[in-house]
Amino acid sequence: MNALRLLTALLSLPLLGVAQADDMRLPAGAPPAFQSECGACHLAFPPRLLVAEDWRRVMAGLDQHFGDNASLDEPTRRVIEAYLVGNAGKPNKLGPAGPASPGEAPRLTATAWFKRKHHEVSPAYWRHADVRGPANCAACHKQAAAGSYREREIVMPGGRRWQD
Ligand code: HEC
Ligand code: HEC
């Protein structure tokens, strides 16, 4: 191997092994129902944005899901839960979500990780009519549906690019 190829190989190492913070593509093995059921009302959220215990709580309370009934038949519920739990985030990196309010399912937008990543985003943006809350990822992350959250793809409500 010549020096240039060695250098190229070394530089690409992080992309192979360690997942990047801006790369949230769905891990392999997603059951078709995950996209069709959990992507019906909002983005099919990346599994690694909640810890396993929080996903179990989300999946245990689908009949009262943030004011909606998102119930599934039991076989479908179990297959989706297994996928989410199997690909859940690491507690030491994310932090638990905790209930946003009593009786409510855990929110991935309530983890320490999510808050840290968005500490520069002014609260006025979350309330903006085109956003209506931090769960609406695609309002700002234009490639969210494809699992990409790169800074250069962010367009804030009003049209301002986050990064030129
Ligand atoms: C009938 C519509 C509907 C379906 C189906 C649905 N959801 Fe939701 N979900 C909602 C609503 C409404 C909210 C609250 C959004 C908000 O506050 O902006 C929500 C919020 C969430 C949140 C918290 C987002 C945050 O604020 O951090 C998670 C996690 C979530 N849903 C997971 C799921 C999963 C997993 C499924 C599939 C099993 C699912 N949802 C199916 C309507 C739905
Ligand atoms: C109101 C606009 C807005 C919404 C809604 C929003 N974000 Fe962000 N997000 C941002 C901005 C702006 C940054 C960059 C902040 C910085 O660089 O300080 C960011 C950063 C990120 C990053 C870090 C990217 C990196 O390169 O490290 C991830 C991952 C992310 N957001 C995921 C999400 C997810 C998932 C959701 C929905 C649950 C969401 N965001 C909702 C504006 C938003």
Q: Which residues contact 93 (CB under 8 A, 6 or more apart)?
A: 113
What pLDDT is attached to residue 72? 98
Nearest-CA residue for atom 7 of ligand 1: 41
Please work out whether the CB of residue 45 comes within 6 Å of at least one atom of ligand 1.
yes
The domain limits of the chain are 21-153
Tell how far the Cα of 141 is from the centroid of ligand 2, in angstroms.
Answer: 7
- Which ligand has its closest atom nearest to the C-alpha of 136? 2
pLDDT 10s digits, 60-78? 999 999 999 999 999 999 9
Q: What is the model's pLDDT at position 15?
A: 47
pTM for the structure as a whole: 0.91
Which tens digits make up the pLDDT trace of 148-164? 999 999 999 999 999 86
pLDDT of residue 103: 81
pLDDT score at 102:
78
Which atom of ligand 2 is found nearest the CA of 46? 35
Ligand 2 atom nearest 128 alpha carbon:
1
Measure 149 CA to ligand 2 centroid, in angstroms.
7
Which residues of the chain fall short of a pLDDT of 50? Answer: 13-17
Give the closest residue to 26 by CA, choosing from 146, 157, 151.
146
Cβ of 137 closer than 6 Å to ligand 1, yes or no, is no
Quick one: which ligand is closest to 139's CA?
Answer: 2
Do residues 47 and 84 make contact, with C-beta atoms less than 8 angstroms apart? yes
